[in-house]
Every structure is written in C-alpha cells, then in structure tokens.
Chains A and B, each alone.
Chain A
Amino acid sequence: GAGVSQSPSNKVTEKGKDVELRCDPISGHTALYWYRQSLGQGLEFLIYFQGNSAPDKSGLPSDRFSAERTGGSVSTLTIQRTQQEDSAVYLCASSLGGFTGELFFGEGSRLTVL
C-alpha cells in the first residue's frame, strides 16, 4: 500500500500482559516516529528512528516501553506488563530523510487495557 500501515487496528488486553504493535512505513522513508494519543492528553511523542537507530527515545514513559526497527523499515513497539493508563491510540508516522515536520501518519492501533 501507499500509506503507513499499522497492526493491529484494535487490541484489548488484560492488565499485566505484554503487547506488540507493528508499523510498516512508507517505502523509502528513512525516519519513523511513534506517538500516543489519549483523551485529554493530545498527541504525545514517544520515540524517533532514523534508519535502525533511535537518536531520540526521550518520550518513552517507562522502561516497560521499548521499540525497535529492523532493515530500516518495519518497527515494533512493545509494552510489557500493561497497565490501564497505557490505554490509548498508538500512532506511527514516517517521513523522508532528515526532519521536515511533514509526517505521514498511519490510522493507529487502539489499545485497551482491562
């Protein structure tokens, strides 16, 4: 497809379980970003990849959150021992090399922790 693809689109899990969220960026985009959007919080930056390295992971809220990117393409965001406050829409975006601010977002993965 031509756009950023995220899976799953919806995930319901129990407190304490681990979850993995996947992002497939636009082909040729070297930069990849994860953001989180919750009610009343707006969009919150989590992590930025340039290629396979993450020069800015300052937004990860705790050590339960981790992300990796392989082959300069697909990225996985992993949340361990999920908590109810992790419930949110997790948005992935990609952009051409460097940083233009013109991010192309996927439709997000909605995570609900019961």
Chain B
Amino acid sequence: EDQVTQSPEALRLQEGESSSLNCSYTVSGLRGLFWYRQDPGKGPEFLFTLYSAGEEKEKERLKATLTKKESFLHITAPKPEDSATYLCAVQAAGGTSYGKLTFGQGTILTVHP
C-alpha cells in the first residue's frame, strides 16, 4: 500500500526564517511526486511535479527536491503570504492507478511578520 508521511505537522516561522518541510514516501514504483498548497476553505493548488531522484524544481521562494525515499520543500526567506497547508502526494506507476494520488496529511505553515 502506498504511504506518504509529512513532517512536521505544523511549523511556525518568523518572516525571513528559512526552513524545510519533509515528505517521506513508500510506493511500489514512483510515477511522480507532487506538491500542492492549500489555503483555508479552498481546494489544493498545484506547485510542483518531480519524477526522479536528484530532480529539483523552483518557484519564487520555494524549492522542491527528490530522493528515492523522500522529498523536501525548502522555503527561503518566507513571507506571511506563504502561510498555508503544504500537501505532498505520490502517484504509483503501473496498473490502473492513473488517476489516483496518495496524499500525506500535510504540514501547516504559519509565517509571522
């Protein structure tokens, strides 16, 4: 069974204080790993796709990296508007699971001014 574990559950940062969120995964074969951002009362918003170990993607203050066992979302000099829940998800290769993403529980990030 595919599993995704995110840590920490919650993270409080001061504005400008860089940090990282962790996503550990177990999947029979990885088709892709995805990061989403979710604001309260909204649906998740796509951020990144990573396909293979060693791959990195960047967007503004966010950088996602991937190894064979985990992914990190690095946040550099965060701002209060980066406050949100960050979700990690995996898609398994093969079978009929084309449409299925397995999500972690998320990390609630709060950035104080």
Identify the A interface with B (CB < 8 A).
Answer: 4, 31, 33, 40, 42-45, 47-50, 55-56, 58-59, 91, 93, 99-108
CB of B49 within 8 A of chain A?
Answer: yes
Say how far B107's CB is from chain A's closest CB, in angstroms.
Answer: 12
Chain A residue contacts of B46, Cβ below 8 A: 101-104
In-complex Cβ contact of B98 among A40, A44, A99, A107 (8 A): A99
CA distance A59 to B98 in the complex (A): 13
Q: Is the interface of A mostly helix, strand, loop or mixed?
A: strand
Identify the B interface with A (CB < 8 A).
Answer: 32, 34, 41-46, 49, 87, 89, 91, 96-106
Count: A-B pairs, CB below 8 Å: 67
Known: A42-B106, A43-B103. A105 touches B98 (CB 8 A): no
Q: Is the interface of B mostly helix, strand, loop or mixed?
A: mixed
Chain A residue contacts of B43, Cβ below 8 A: 4, 91, 93, 105-108
The reply to whether A58 and B34 form a contact with Cβ atoms under 8 Å apart is: no
**What are 18 A-B interface contacts by the 8 Å CB criterion?**
A31-B99, A40-B105, A42-B87, A42-B104, A42-B106, A43-B103, A45-B99, A45-B100, A48-B99, A55-B96, A56-B96, A56-B98, A58-B100, A99-B98, A101-B89, A101-B91, A102-B49, A108-B43
